[in-house]
Amino acid sequence: MADQALLTLENLHFDNRFTRLLPADPQQGKQARQVFSACYSRVQPTSVSNPSLIIHAPDVAGQLGISSELCQSDAFVQLFSGNQTLPGMDPHACCYGGHQFGNWAGQLGDGRVINLGELISPQNKRWMLQLKGAGRTPYSRSADGLAVLRSSVREFLCSEAMFHLDIPTTRALSLILTGEQVMRDMFYDGHAALEPGAIVCRAAPSFTRFGSFQIFASRGDTATLKALLDHTITTDFPHLGAPNQTSYVQCFEAICQSTAELMVDWMRVGFVHGVMNTDNMSVLGLSIDYGPYGWLEDYNPDWTPNTTDKAMHRYCYGQQAAIAGWNLARLAEAILPLIGDAKALQQALNNYSTIYNTLWQNMMADKLGLQCFEPQTDTVLIDELQRILSLCETDMGIFYRKLAMLDATQSLEKTNDSELMRPILDAYYKPDEIKPDTQQQIANWLRSYILRLQQDGRSNAARKQHMNRHNPKYVLRNYLVQIAIDQAAMGDYSEIHRLYQVIQRPYDEQPAFESYAAKRPEWARNRAGCSMLSCSS
């Protein structure tokens, strides 16, 4: 069976345009070094001792032309653990730089990622396959290039959760245990310990980042910068035509558009990326690099899940759109030498803010079940909503799902504050402790909202259906993932599979999994992995 599976895998078609057309690092080997005038370094994955499959995503496998049966084979495990490669593959690690927490960090690169090659799917789509945690590369610096089980579980589940939330993202094909132990200091506090090693196979049309262009611009290497931008337009933006100064600007405009759309999607579901460095921003507007991410448990725009960002809150929920704009400005600076027209790039940056604000207003109207955003009434309504959500500890996701159950036909004159709030009480962490003044402010907003709904004219049923398509019931709460990680550390992977099942239908009622939509339990409020995570998480 394994031999037959390998034969089938060998039929996968790779067309490695990236490595074929772009300049390579002439130096061989995995030793850490500065790589100049090259987009990548060829490097082989590190072999592991005893790989075993924990889970795979049948949907992703199907898009790649790999059957679920084949995913269960030893040949699949050997291939996507890095123990074997196929003849058509061209393993490599990419060179890029980036701004980290607002500071230029110089060369970064794929320090624990090895790209296997570009697969052409049965639908003739291009997918770059890469292994995260496959060992050292020239960009690993002093690190080992490996990944541990806990971070790999988070990466696999979040990639797929975001996809099923209808948010652009890189995908995850498989999660494989390596059979080896990896030393990690989770919170960089001197308490290093051995943990199970794991590898995730990720897939995307491209993993090109803002920082991919920044590294060459920072070195004055316009030849390699131009080669990469030309390749990006030809491969990822072919509708723009031949690479030239006009299509360069159009490409940047497209990146501004897709980035604005992505930020609105993140805000819609309460997702916080946690480490929006320029090397973690995709030119395709994809969510990429899931490290210390999280979803808002209570509505707090200042919340960040990243321990490294605890003091600055640079990457907190409420700052994500602004940071994306800052990152776009850094990308504009990088490609400016090829364009020479700062005004065109500045106009695109100005348009980013306009696009984001318009999309955000429309998104909020959808979350509230309104047929469209009306500036005269809805600006104040939404601003006031943001304020009342912060008055007391409020679960954002549950709030909107419960708000959909509000009866817009009720008589406001005959309904007191307590009755008005009853449908949404489950959204509050301590409903019995809500002060009378706070209750009155929330009830006043509900009255304004109901009056707006009555003007809108939608039926309760139609409004609820619309709201529930835009407000997920199930998101990948950190405490749920931590439970799965704790069990996986003891060799029980059943909770990973259950979570994977739940996240595939995030907008649907799933009675069998009702507990997965519950508020964060008190035990998880300050527990590591549930509240705050490090970049090593």
Neighbours of 11 (CB within 10 A): 9
d(CA 212, CA 97) in angstroms, rounded, equals 6
Name the residue type at position 497. H
Buried b (16+ CB within 10 A) or exposed e, 77-94: bbbbbbbbbeebbbbbbb
Q: What sections of 165-221 are H helices per DSSP?
A: 210-218
Name the residue type at position 248. Y
Residue 28: burial class (beta carbons within 10 Å; 0-12, 13-18, 19+): exposed
d(CA 277, CA 108) in angstroms, rounded, equals 11
Cβ neighbours for 446, distance < 8 A, ≥ 6 positions apart? 406, 420, 421, 424
Token readout for 64 is 């790649």
d(CA 142, CA 156) in angstroms, rounded, equals 25
Q: Which pairs with CB-CB distance under 8 Å and at least 24 residues apart come from 19-25?
A: 19/90, 19/92, 19/117, 20/90, 21/227, 21/231, 22/227, 22/228, 22/231, 23/224, 23/227, 24/92, 25/95, 25/138
Q: Which residues are catalytic?
A: 279
Strand ranges, E, within 159-218: 171-184, 193-204
d(CA 15, CA 485) in angstroms, rounded, equals 36
CA atoms within 13 A on the CB side of 445: 21
d(CA 76, CA 57) in angstroms, rounded, equals 13
Buried b (16+ CB within 10 A) or exposed e, 117-135: bbbbbeeeebbbbbbbbbb
Q: Which sign does the torsion angle of CA 61, 67, 73, 75 carry?
A: negative
d(CA 92, CA 535) in angstroms, rounded, equals 23
